[in-house]
Amino acid sequence: MNTEIPEACIQAIANARHIVVLTGAGVSAESGILTFRDALEGLWAKYDPRELATPEAFERDPELVSRWYDMRRLMCRDTSPNPGHGAIADLQRRTERSGGTFTLLTQNIDGLHQRAGASDVIELHGSLWKWRCASCYTPATDLPEPLAEFPSPCACGGFLRPGVVWFGEALSHDDLTAAAAACDACDVFLSVGTSGVVYPVAGLIDLVSVRGAPTIEVNPDVTPQSGQVTWSLRGPAGEVLPALVDSIGA
Ligand code: BV8
Ligand code: ZN
């Protein structure tokens, strides 16, 4: 691995009792899941994800949007967590074993953190694995893989939609309150694999910086937050995170 991790950064994590980790699509990139901003391949290349991830798109074309999310659901089913997910789960176990708190916030809807062994994951933008009726909100259970119909009907006459937060939709108040409270109290904030442009989640790091608490970014590229963080670890999560966790002895 060619990303140097400063000793002070290692100590900040090693000595932290209250850790917040925020992840984005980049943590799942090494599992083969295209990030939100990657041009989607093949059939989907002509669609802009931000155009499909809206209530208006579902209203306009529930078949297309259901197909897109079901394709992503099955793609995620057929991938596996990568060492970056594993390192985060190891860090959670180490922190909680020593009596500290660990809050894992993710913008991802793929469920890979949970499959890597992380617990109490706060899925701020929902999950591909929780579909519900768009009209009566009844949760859908035992969804076939793939869905049998596009869109899939609900007994009430409505259509099933993925349990994700679309652009223009509010996040869960409880999740956001828990996330903000963790950021207000943490000793260190670790942002992994996110372009940091989607609000209100992108604003969470400010709650930490304003207190002068250390913030760390893990990303091969520069982001709008790179200038504000204490340390930028410029590399892939699947390499940097295991090295970081090995350095502190998890
Ligand atoms: C809301 C779920 C209000 C669905 C998603 C103007 C200014 C400010 C805000 C707004 C504005 N206009 C509109 C808004 C609000 C809007 C917003 O922020 N828009 C942006 C585009 C400007 N926000 C919303 O609409 C939110 N809701 O505001 O509601 C409200 C209040 C009350 C009542 C009603 C309404 C809801 C936003 C949630 C949208 N849903 N996802 C789905 O997935 O299909 S967003 C989606 O994109 C992701 O969830 C994620 O949150 C977001 C960004 O994606 P990232 O995860 O960061 O991924 P990305 O591809 O962008 O970047 C990947 C990164 O990984 C890159 O930096 C790359 O370098 C790095 N990387 C690559 N490989 C690796 C790596 N890193 C590490 N290792 C690697 N190997
Ligand atoms: Zn219904």
CATH class of 7-32+81-125+171-248: alpha beta
For the chain, the structural domain boundaries read 7-32+81-125+171-248, 42-78+129-164
Q: Is the pLDDT of residue 1 over 60?
A: no
Residue 84 and residue 92 in contact, taking contact as beta carbons nearer than 8 Å: no
Summarize the confidence of residues 144-164 as an average pLDDT.
Answer: 98
Q: Is the pLDDT of residue 208 over 80?
A: yes
Q: What is the pLDDT of residues 57-103, one digit of tens each?
A: 999 999 999 999 999 999 999 999 999 999 999 999 999 999 999 99
Residues annotated catalytic, as ranges = 125
Question: Which protein residue has the closest C-alpha to ligand 1 atom 69?
Answer: 221
Q: Where does 42-115 have alpha helices with state H?
A: 49-52, 55-60, 62-77, 83-97, 112-115
- pTM: predicted TM-score of the whole model, two decimal places: 0.96
Ligand 1 centroid to 228 CA: how many Å?
19
Ligand 2 centroid to 150 CA: how many Å?
15
Please count the other Cβ atoms lying within 10 Å of the Cβ belonging to residue 139: 10
Question: Which protein residue has the closest C-alpha to ligand 1 atom 64?
Answer: 194
When pLDDT is cut at 50, 70 and 90, the band that residue 250 belongs to is low
Closest listed residue to residue 248, CA positions, set 24, 136, 95, 122? 95
Confidence at residue 224, expressed as pLDDT on a 0 to 100 scale: 95
CA dist 40 and 196 (Å) reads: 20
Confidence at residue 41, expressed as pLDDT on a 0 to 100 scale: 58
Q: What angle do CA 109, 105, 160 make, to 5 degrees?
A: 30
Residue 128 and residue 72 in contact, taking contact as beta carbons nearer than 8 Å: yes
Q: Is the pLDDT of residue 45 over 80?
A: no
CATH class of 42-78+129-164: alpha beta
pLDDT, greater one: 4 or 163: 163
Summarize the confidence of residues 175-191 as an average pLDDT.
Answer: 98
When pLDDT is cut at 50, 70 and 90, the band that residue 36 belongs to is confident
Q: How far is CA 237 from the centre of its chain?
A: 13
Residues with CB under 6 A from ligand 1: 24-26, 29-30, 35-37, 53, 107, 109, 125, 164-170, 193-195, 197-199, 201, 218-221, 223, 236-238
Confidence at residue 47, expressed as pLDDT on a 0 to 100 scale: 78
Residues linked to residue 163 through DSSP beta bridges, in sequence order: 127
Confidence at residue 50, expressed as pLDDT on a 0 to 100 scale: 82
When pLDDT is cut at 50, 70 and 90, the band that residue 195 belongs to is very high
